[in-house]
Structure 1
């Protein structure tokens, strides 16, 4: 470390400190502040003053204390041991901090991000004489029971030759595994560990267009408003509407390989619930604990605001690292509003000109840069991996016209708007079908045609059309009541109720309803539309809706989600027979 590059604190303003005069620090460099060596980052430089944001509590700091340069930007350590771990916003493991300093994070605590003494069972995948480049896999380590960690050549290496390889065995993350000779003749030693600056996107070879859905098992998401692998989605909603629960369901049931859950500025008790639940959950795919493929970044509302701002980038960098191995990674950012509030507080401390509602003028560009790092990519090593970002937004009072929600809408292609009235009516997920949208539907229609059914998108559009008609009719019903409607319009209201209760509403605590395959989703739509077609024939013949409802068929179709087990979908085919029996009964009784 360069001892000469130091500065003296001149002023302290919350998490922002100032150094007077010209300094030798570099922009975005990590620094150690004061006697307790608090972690900070240089955020502004001019010839008269250096501005630093500190990622830890600054109470007790005073002018005259020394700030020391680290020589590197704020970076994360990338190596085996990231999964099944809980970090704070700057990748310090909370369990190790607790062992060292108790339940609350003590200031200036210095712990390694990853365990440097643990030996990992390592299988080398290169041999002497092989030609490698940035992204090439040099070793494989079973990091957990679910995920094989692929140790790669750092991205900045262009072409190099392997000159020495250790045999397979047990190694720590700092032991040299491979030596390579670069094109300029230099010998470089490679370990399992890479360092990467959190604000710089990891390089890729090529970005692919959206073409494969991230299947979540949630009907309103997969069928109505799908997200692609490598896609971006926002879940805005007021307090208690189910943002966190929706993210939990996606984390547990989606077909992503790895989950990065970023609790950014959430309440401590809510984060504790997440940590406890994730620790107990069993991965439905493998039967192993869900934490085997999950990393949690916990940055609660009582932690310093600057670290809250950094936690989003820390999670993104970890996700990109696993994407480079060829995995599909899903990021749950809960919530981007708290991150934006951290930006607002720091901006105020820096005396920048505020924009709408006090947020900084660069809020839009920061949100854009965050969501831009999602995507399905061809990695430098030639594999295909993706990072999908699902960001919760917490607008104050549930007002979707506030700046964070509006700017987020500009950069995401999937908008799952949570509705307070649905949540209060215990309709979960409380995603409203009229305020939500997905621009991925046309991109994914070919995949649905090839992998589920050519009719899938058509059926989905027909359900949406019926829900739209119900909304129009409800305006009339509110004015003059449902009794005056003709029977064909009463039928639309009844079928829309079947769609809402039997298809869109989903019970997270029911073993057959918590996660539903696309095949079952399609067959459920098929049965609902067959019921509508049959009922419409009867209404056209002059049979009143009161007679149709008396048969109880609508309730039977609503109950499909509970009555048909996920491992016996053939039962769904019998429902068309039941609908035919209902048709014949009505005809016989009214002949």
Structure 2
């Protein structure tokens, strides 16, 4: 057991745990607040705490868990709303009311709810990581695929019949080449800092149709592509992302509000359950996962929230779905990096942001893409990343916007003058662009006509 030495906001320096590792989850203080190790020295280590640290005092205990910050993946994700570290907000409200208490330990998925599992393989089948062994009709829109986890490979020696099971009950037993038996359950736990494994990246030759004509016509997004929506206050970044989430032809939507204002997340929560999916007519929330880490929530959890969202998106991608991930906004996530970096005493770069701002943004956006997933059969899935950027005063020369532009391939620039004239979406077609026009050319010619690319160029001339 370690002890707290110093406290500076969400950053806590501790001692007494010589075997602690980077990015290990620790429990901090008498209330056992959730923290993550972000710096390790010879005798001391530093943790960022994902909950409010007021009232903590030097000398209070720090307990090592031995685990990395991970998310729970399985049936029950769709339609859920979480905080930045995958704690279900409805459960937190039940336990502490409208204002979240500290030290609450809530599991991401319900371990008692039973789901209808239908096997799709038989005893004697050879399986490897990523192979689908069964299906669960999770919502009226999405049927989740249950996959063999990484590290399990061999022959199926036992598989349950169709029936009702919890996500922690054994549904399959696999014997590996050494004769050891591995129990397979529907629940998977995956660390959030490292992307889930896949076989290979594929070309992005199909557009993600957003339902916004100006975007789909002049600066289209590809399935598996990356895009950014920078704009000043009031230009419509959040509303545009909401429109993407509602009408884009993605099969699953993961929407993360990292540092977003609470009223905007409230709008999504109140409106989306009443909206209908245009393809199925079912409620839109049945294909959506919401992660709400609003601006009044702890800043350290804001930093973790986009990694949680990316890992959940990768889980659905690995099942073969086309996923759209909306991050609103990456500027407020970068501000969380700046605050934590400053408290660590790291050398600042432009406007106080850490020198590694560009590499962290790249790590996030690189988790998108269209890939060939782990599986014996060929299965393709994609994650399309769309991030809002909030440059102060609408200044696109500030560090977060510039670092983002070096990474993403679609740039939807929102214009304050257009927004002032109530022209929405306020996308300036002269300053916006898409680098996917060439790769999508074949799709547009096949589906809209050989003259389509020429008509687009003529319209922009």
TM-score of the superposed pair, with normalisation by structure 1: 0.77
Q: For each residue in 1:96-123, what CA deviation from the matched residue of structure 2 results, as whole angstroms up to 9, or x when unmatched? A: 1101110111101111111111110110
Quick one: which of 53, 58, 63 aligns to 2:58? Answer: 63
CA distance in 1, matches of 2:358, 2:317: 26
Mapped to 2, the partners of 1:405 and 1:155 lie a distance apart of: 37
Secondary structure at the residue paired with 1:196? strand
- Would the aligned equivalents of 2:3 and 2:16 in 1 still touch at CA under 8 Å? no
Partners of 2:350 and 2:370 in 1: how far apart?
33
Distance 1:217 1:301 in 2: 29
Residue of 151, 175, 199 corresponding to 1:156: 151
Residue in 1 aligned with 2:101?
A: 106
Alpha-carbon distance between aligned partners in 1 of 2:271 and 2:230, rounded to the nearest angstrom: 23
Query: Following TM superposition, by how much is the alpha carbon of 1:434 offset from its aligned partner in structure 2, in angstroms?
Result: 0.9
The CA deviation at 1:22 is 5.8
Matches within 5 A, 1:9-408: 9-20=4-15, 23-157=18-152, 159-381=153-375, 382-408=378-404
Q: Distance in 2 between matches of 1:362 and 1:310?
A: 16
Which residue of 2 is the match for residue 417 of structure 1?
413
Question: Matched residues in 2 for 1:165 and 1:136: separation?
Answer: 14
Aligned to 1:536: none
Q: Which structure has the highest helix share of the two?
A: 1
Post-superposition offset of 1:445:
0.2
- Matches of 2:180 and 2:451, distance apart in 1: 59
Deviation readout 1:351-382 (Å, 9 max, x if unpaired): 00000000000000000111011100111123
Query: 1:155 Cα deviation (Å)?
Result: 2.3
Query: Would the aligned equivalents of 1:22 and 1:47 in 2 still touch at CA under 8 Å?
Result: no
Cα distance in 1 for partners of 2:417, 2:48 equals 41
Give the Å deviation of 1:183. 2.2
Q: Give the secondary-structure state (helix, strand or coil) at the position aligned to 1:443.
A: helix
SS in 1 for 2:102: coil
Any conservation in 2 of the 1:136–1:380 contact (CA below 8 Å)?
yes
- Say whether the 8 Å CA contact 1:22–1:46 is kept in structure 2: no
Larger Rg: 1
Unmatched tracts of structure 2, length 5 or more: none
Structure having the higher strand fraction is 2
| Distance (whole Å) between structure 2 residues aligned to residue 322 and residue 36 of structure 1 | 35
CA distance in 1, matches of 2:33, 2:399: 33
**Any idea what SS the aligned residue of 1:221 has?**
helix
Cα shift at 1:252: 1.0
**Post-superposition offset of 1:48:** 2.7
Where does structure 1 lack aligned partners over 5 or more consecutive residues? 1-5, 466-591
Deviation at residue 21 of structure 1 after TM alignment? 5.5
Contact map agreement 2:173 2:183 (CA 8 A) in 1:
yes
Q: CA deviation at 1:156?
A: 2.9
- Which one has more relative contact order, counting CA pairs under 8 Å at least 6 apart? 2
Kept in 2: contact 1:213–1:227 (CA 8 A): yes
Given that 2:205 and 2:439 are in contact with CA atoms closer than 8 Å, whether structure 1 keeps it comes out as yes
Partner of 2:439: 443
Q: If the length of structure 2 is used for normalisation, what is the TM-score?
A: 0.98
SS in 2 for 1:449: helix
User: Deviation of residue 277 (structure 1)?
Assistant: 1.5
Q: List per-residue Cα deviations over 1:418-454 (Å, max 9, x = no partner).
A: 0000001111110001110100000100111112111
Greater Cα shift, 278-287 or 204-213: 278-287
Moved over 6 A (4+): none
CA contact (8 A) 2:246 2:277 kept: yes
Q: Say if 2:3 and 2:60, in contact at 8 Å, map to a contact too.
A: yes
> Retained in 2: the 8 A contact 1:21–1:47?
no
Count of aligned pairs: 459
Coordinate RMSD, CA, aligned: 0.9
Q: Is the 8 A contact 1:29 1:71 kept in 2?
A: yes
User: Does the CA contact (< 8 Å) of 1:18 and 1:52 recur in 2?
Assistant: yes
Structure 1: distance between partners of 2:360 and 2:385: 15
Where 2:401 maps in the other structure, the secondary structure is helix
